[in-house]
Amino acid sequence: MRILKTLKNQSLIKKFKGHRDYKYIQGLLKLKYCYLAALTKKEYFGLLMNSSPEKPYPKISALPTVRESIKQFLKTTSHLKNKHSDRGISGVTVAKCIKKFKTGGNNLRYGFIADNKYSKKGKYYIGDAMHRLVAYGIWKKLKIKDYEVQAIYCTNRKLLTA
């Protein structure tokens, strides 16, 4: 992970207060520090999420990764027609995000990640923007370079910026 800059939590609160998923983002903003971070390819593919197309309600100790979700969508494209009933990965939403990437109207800059506290697998957990993060990997056909994916990383650890 490359820390690009330190972000002020109060500024993020102002910026995202009206966001439809603010109640989820708000929990991350209670952590001491937030950074704009560029992820390595390994970190991006290892991000944990609350569900995948083939594991809509996984055990907390067995959360799927971004890579697993991307591969499931690529293998079975009919998953892109499925909805999730309870805040999990929705193929319909992923398909909309892919369409936006194709037309140049979507970006990843404002996804939120945090330290993984749920399982031994994976270092970071997606707090917001899992649909965009998965759609990006599908759109790129898993051809991701180190540091091309950026996210807002919230943690209680103080890190040095670039």
Q: Where are the domains of the chain?
A: 2-155
- 162 has pLDDT over 70: no
pLDDT of residue 109: 66
Widest CA span in the chain: 43
Q: Dig out the tokens for 102 from the structure.
A: 């194709």
Residue 149 predicted with pLDDT over 90: yes
What's the pLDDT at 82? Answer: 92
pTM, entire model: 0.92
What's the angle, vertex CA 40, arms to CA 84 and CA 88, rounded to 5?
A: 10
Query: What is d(CA 34, CA 157) in angstroms, rounded to the nearest whole number?
Result: 9
Range scoring the smallest mean pLDDT among 84-93, 129-138, 148-157: 84-93
CB of 36 closer than 8 Å to CB of 4: yes
pLDDT surpasses 90 at 91: yes
Kindly tell me the burial class for residue 23, based on how many C-beta atoms sit within 10 Å of its own C-beta (0-12, 13-18, 19 or more): exposed
Residue 146 in this model has a pLDDT that exceeds 70? yes
Partners of 128 in beta bridges: 112
pLDDT tens digits, 41-73: 999 999 999 999 999 889 888 899 999 999 999
**Mean of the pLDDT values across residues 75-100?**
91
At residue 106, the pLDDT reads 62
- 112-115 sheet: strands from edge to edge: 2-7, 33-39, 149-155, 112-115, 124-128
What mean pLDDT is reported for the chain? 90
Helix, strand or coil for residue 69? helix
